[in-house]
Structure 1
Amino acid sequence: MSILVLGVGNILLSDEAIGVRVVEALEQRYHLPENVEVLDGGTAGMELLGAMANRDHLIIADAIVSQKSVPGTVICLRNDAVPTLFRNKISPHQLGLSDVLSALRFTGEFPQKLTLIGVIPLSLEPHIGMTPVVEASLEKALQAVLDALRESGVQPRLREAKHAG
């Protein structure tokens, strides 16, 4: 089983960094089996096509804009709900992801399973560092990624804490 956990976002636009920060936390804290690839996709678009193609499970962590939800809210969408959401222009770099998902569907390389872990941003202003409300949602978003991995039979193992001294 081939799984990709993809974090997308722009770390220069405050809360837009959440997807990237979630995958960083995943890599720093957990051992994952060889069939799970973790990728910081930044603001890349079509150049991610090869990495996303023919996956058994594609898990995307991203900031998603929604007028109906409170900043810091973690939303988990699956399969057909994901491309539908991307048609509503929800993320500053989302055009690229929407195009990649459409291209994968067109070429028959669409992932068998698709999960989007989205966090509602408070600010997308140019600033390095997330707002406290979105920073506080990082753990919940990470848990949602871990849950998605477990749904595909992956058991992430916590890395041992490094002791000072």
Structure 2
Amino acid sequence: MNVLVLGIGNLVMSDDGAGVRAVELIRELYPLPGGVTLLDGGTLGLDLLPRFDGVDRLLVVDAIDTGAPAGTLVRLQGEDIPTALRTKVSPHQMGLQDLLAVADLQGNLPGEMVLWGVQYGSVEPGTDLSAPVARALPLLVAQVLAELAAWDIHPG
């Protein structure tokens, strides 16, 4: 089974980089077994399409906007992900929405998809996360690891 853990966001737009920061923390602190790829997807959009080749499960980590208080975590699964993207849940949603749509058209959409998001507080220029998102980051990492554990993938 091949799993792609994809952190999306812009590290110089404060909270928008939360997904990438979560994936970076996992890479630094939790060695994962073969078959699991941790990827800083940045804001690459359709350029990420080749990375879906052979992926069975996709776990996206991103900053989102659901109108909840900053730092609130949200889990979306399967068809709920593109549906939610139609209502602008991410600062770079069109890139992710387009990526999933093209992968689907090519028959290359992973069989299982989960998105863990954190409600952003600020997407202003800057490299620091807002206080609520910084406080939520360890919990976001824990939720990503729990999702992987549910797929029988454990840090080694």
Please say whether Structure 1 and Structure 2 have the same fold, judged by a TM-score greater than 0.5.
Answer: yes
The alpha carbon displacement at 1:42 in A equals: 0.5
Gapped runs of 5+ residues in structure 2? none
Who is 2:6 aligned against? 6
Who is 1:101 aligned against? 100
Could you tell me which amino acid in structure 2 is paired with residue 70 of structure 1? Answer: P
Higher deviation after alignment, 90-99 or 31-40:
90-99
Who is 2:131 aligned against? 132
Could you tell me which amino acid in structure 2 is paired with residue 66 of structure 1? Answer: T
* Poorly superposed stretches of 4+, deviation over 4 Å: none
Could you tell me which amino acid in structure 2 is paired with residue 129 of structure 1? Answer: D
The alpha carbon displacement at 1:131 in A equals: 0.6
Residue identity over aligned pairs, in percent, reads: 38
1:28-83 deviation digits (Å, cap 9, x = unpaired)? 0011111000000011100000112442110000000112x111001111111111
**Larger Rg belongs to:** 1
Who is 1:19 aligned against? 19
Following superposition of structure 1 onto structure 2, how do residues 33-72 of structure 1 map, counting pairs within 5 Å? 33-67=33-67, 69-72=68-71
Could you tell me which amino acid in structure 1 is paired with residue 155 of structure 2? Answer: P
The alpha carbon displacement at 1:86 in A equals: 1.1
Higher deviation after alignment, 143-152 or 133-142:
143-152
Gapped runs of 5+ residues in structure 1? 158-165
Higher deviation after alignment, 38-47 or 80-89:
80-89
Question: Over aligned residues, Cα RMSD in angstroms?
Answer: 1.0
Q: Is the CA contact (8 Å cut-off) linking 1:76 and 1:144 kept in structure 2?
A: no
Could you tell me which amino acid in structure 2 is paired with residue 35 of structure 1? Answer: G
